[in-house]
Amino acid sequence: MSASGQQQEGKQAAAEQDDATPNGVVEIDERRIKMERLRAEGIDPYPHVSLLGDRTLIKDVLAAHDASALEAGEHSELRHHVAGRVISRRGHGKTSFIDLRDLSGSIQLVVREDALGKERFDRVMGLDIGDIVGVQGFVYVTKRGQLALAVQECTLLTKTLRPPPDKHHGLGDTGTRYRYRELDLIANDDTRKLFVQRARIVAAIRQWLDERNFVEVETPALQSLAGGAGSRPFTTYHNALDRDLYLRISVELFLNRCIVGGLENVYDMGKVFRNEGISHKHSPEFTIIEFMFAYADYHDVATATEEMFRDVAQKVLGRTTVQRNGETIDLAKPWRRITMREAMLDATGIDFMDENREAATQKMLQALEERVHPATTWAELVLAVYSKLIEPTINQPTHVFDFPLEPFPITKPHAEHPELAEHFDAVIGGIEMVSGDTELNDPVDQWQRFVDQRKRRMADEEDVPHPNDEEYARAIEYGYSPTAGGGMGVDRLIMILTERETLREVIPFPIVRDIK
């Protein structure tokens, strides 16, 4: 988005949040006057109340009765107590119709003066759109055969002082929806359904792992070392300890130490933080799950990834197919498996493993068609070609194996090509979904890798060096079984399964720009 577009987004968001139109200000004033009038009459607009033992969800009311099997009119023997938000009102005179919504659905309320009496009827008529109420009533079938509730009692539970977003025009722009997600949830059924679905996907992932005897371990979010990944960390300061700490960028090293201790199969799902850019597939704060298998290799992790995605989709969606970039993706089908060398040859004709390394390097530089820092290594160049020219073109589920070793300091070298790593990426829709490895369990090699990584980082004055993780290197000296693991961006999986285009859609409260 351009600077002018960002500025306009901020202005519109500020205007919508502040209700800065004359009509908006007038309505807010009127609602406050109503609130004060209620207090003056001895009515608490925010009463102390609990309905947990008495309330029925609207979907359960609708499911309990077949309107087609009931005669039109009142059915006083079928009584219910519901609660929710007033979303619309229509009708005049001595009968009015109100639509009430809770998370499970909405139902029409029939409000009649002859049933309530004039004082209580007028009180209900004084409700504003957005007010939250508790309603006792009995089943009523309209002349059109619609199931409704005839109101016997209506209690104001929460007086709203701001009008909800316009039902027909919504919030105006996506920036406002992300910044004021509560308004997005009020206005859009689809948004509420999305975040219910998100919760079900997260629960299904946990269930999948728990059923396979994985142990969930909560690793620390504040860490003394920004270890386990190559990203820039967020740095903070602990006053009592008088030291810098880092928000975690990965959880892998702590999980590996648990395997050293004998837990064997472990996982952690939670927030990680990377002080880097924002895009449709990147967020500085996101949810990750890392899962580690003892006595496994990276091919086993790839197989587990396929099975997890398939099973979670079936459980939550009731199907294994989704749409992405104009294609149908079936997660139940065997995923394509290809090496990075094969993928690059297919896409560019370049063999980065060519014995003439200099010639291969020149071809990759030409393929990138951009300036490359003189200190860029062969491995970094290979990854740059892959990330810019190959990964974005992979739409159908694909495992890409055998990356250059250098960027993966805790990954086991390839058995046949020691300059490569036993590392793979699982890709869908041009996005890395899972990054998996066979873990390095040689403590001598591991220590040297950390030393080499630190030297490379210190050579870049703009980067923040990650100190050698002495505790981790020492831990695996006690014996680290053959192990493999994978790390998955949970938000990315949710984005794929819900067919959304950007992470900001599926993160409840994404980080957005300040309003200026």
- Reported as a single tens digit per residue, the pLDDT across 456-490 is 766 665 555 455 578 899 999 999 999 999 999 99
Judge whether 402 lies within some domain. Answer: yes
CA distance 111 to 131: 16
β-pair partners for 89: 98
Strands 398-401 and 327-330: unpaired
Cα–Cα–Cα angle for 64, 66, 70, nearest 5°?
120
User: What is the model's pLDDT at position 232?
Assistant: 87
**Are 296 and 433 members of one domain?**
yes
What H or E segment, with its residue span, contains residue 322? strand 321-324
3-state secondary structure 240-302: CCCEEEEECCCCHHHHHHHHHCCCCCEEEEEEEECCCCCECCECCEEEEEEEEEECCCHHHHH
Judge whether 83 lies within some domain. Answer: yes
Least confident span in 319-333, 362-376, 386-400: 362-376
**Are 434 and 286 members of one domain?**
yes
Give the pLDDT confidence of 251-279 residue by residue, as tens digits.
Answer: 999 999 999 999 999 999 999 999 988 88
Q: pLDDT band for position 515 (50/70/90)?
A: confident
Coil vs helix vs strand at 223: strand
**Are 128 and 213 members of one domain?**
no
Judge whether 476 lies within some domain. Answer: yes
β-pair partners for 82: 135
Find the CATH number of the domain harbouring 432.
3.30.930.10
Strands 266-273 and 215-216: parallel
**Are 323 and 209 members of one domain?**
yes
**Are 92 and 194 members of one domain?**
no
Q: Which domain range does residue 238 map to?
A: 189-335+397-506
User: What is the model's pLDDT at position 227?
Assistant: 72
Give the pLDDT confidence of 72-100 residue by residue, as tens digits.
Answer: 999 999 999 999 999 999 987 899 999 99
